[in-house]
Structure 1
Amino acid sequence: MKKVLVLAISSFVLWSCNNPSEKAKSNQETKQEEHQHDETSEAIELNSGKKWIVNDEMKPFVAKGEGLVTTYLQSSQTNYNKLAQKLKDQNNQLIKSCTMKGKSHDELHKWLHPHLELVEALEKSANENEAKGIVLKLQKSNEVYHQYFE
């Protein structure tokens, strides 16, 4: 089930980020790229020692998601299902706003896919303790984002 969900999210992300000329590529290439995302997370690389530039349209959704996690932790909230839904909404907007191309786009996806999986895991958490651990991982994910992107 998790693999199906990750595959569906990957398909949506890849589809929403492609321009019309890229849509003409064969399904074989798309399936191969999706398969690569499903395996282990690849290490994110810097851009010749510098952070990658994220397009301005995407930044507010990353910032809002980060703010939701920070507020949740600082105010000792416990409604992790509500947090998961809000994070999913921000991630959907982030994906819809994607216009990035090339290597920066590929590197962002190396961060985004594990991040999406954490949000999905949060939504499926069985209890507050499990959810708290996942929220801390989301906080770390946001720190990783800032290490590689601006």
Structure 2
Amino acid sequence: MRREILLGLLFLSLAACRKNANEPEKTEETTTTEAAAESVHEAKEVTLDNGQLWTANPETTEGIKNMQKIISERQQETTGSDLKAALENEFQMIFEKCTMKGEAHNQLHNYLLPLKMKLNQLDGTNDEEVISEIDTYLKEYSNYFQ
């Protein structure tokens, strides 16, 4: 149940990322439909742009680098919940500053959904293992985006 709620919130935030200030206000039904479409889309793996890296907006790349820095500079006494809060703050900033469009934007979401799921796994019981997975995953960003 908790996972479904978190995924629902993630999908709504993903849909909000795409919102254009010039678009008319969407109804709840439209938002729900878009969220459902996003959930189908999000299950895909990240692919390259005909063998080339996608161009990401600078704020996205900065957010990923900031997350890497948070992990690399963390102190051993830093709790999983403190680390999770800092990482989720950067993650949210990526969405708030999102300016990407088209397929590059879709591929960014394909990359970010598994990252969000890893962040959700930080629960105080398996933090070192999950932190290692997140660190490795963040390093894969440059395999898909420039």
| Range of TM-score over shorter length | 0.7 to 0.9
Match of 1:32 in 2: 36
Q: 1:140 to 1:4 in 2, by over 3 A?
A: same
Match of 1:70 in 2: 72
Higher helix share: 1
Percent sequence identity over aligned pairs: 18
Match among 55, 58, 61 for residue 60 of structure 2: 58
Match of 1:125 in 2: 124
Q: TM-score, normalised by structure 2?
A: 0.85
What secondary structure, in the 3-state scheme, does the structure 1 residue paired with 2:58 have?
coil
Query: What's the CA shift string for 1:33-85, capped at 9, x where partnerless?
Result: 233156xx42211011111111113222111011112223xx54552211111
Contact 1:7/1:34, CA 8 A, preserved across alignment: no
Match of 2:44 in 1: 42
Say how many residue pairs are matched: 142
Q: 1:22 to 1:112 in 2, by over 3 A?
A: farther
What secondary structure, in the 3-state scheme, does the structure 2 residue paired with 1:58 have?
helix
Q: What is the deviation of 1:99?
A: 1.1
Contact 2:63/2:94, CA 8 A, preserved across alignment: yes
Contact 2:11/2:35, CA 8 A, preserved across alignment: no
Q: What is the deviation of 1:86?
A: 0.3
Which ranges in structure 1 are unaligned for 5 or more consecutive residues?
none
What secondary structure, in the 3-state scheme, does the structure 2 residue paired with 1:105 have?
helix
Q: Partners in 2 of 1:76 and 1:37 — Cα distance? A: 38
* 1:143 matched to 2:142: no
Letter in 1 for 2:70: L
Contact 1:13/1:95, CA 8 A, preserved across alignment: yes
Q: What is the CA RMSD across the aligned residues, in angstroms?
A: 2.2
Q: TM-score, normalised by structure 1?
A: 0.83
* 1:8 matched to 2:9: yes
Q: What is the deviation of 1:149?
A: 0.7
Correspondence list, 1:84-103, <5 A = 84-103=84-103
* 1:111 matched to 2:115: no
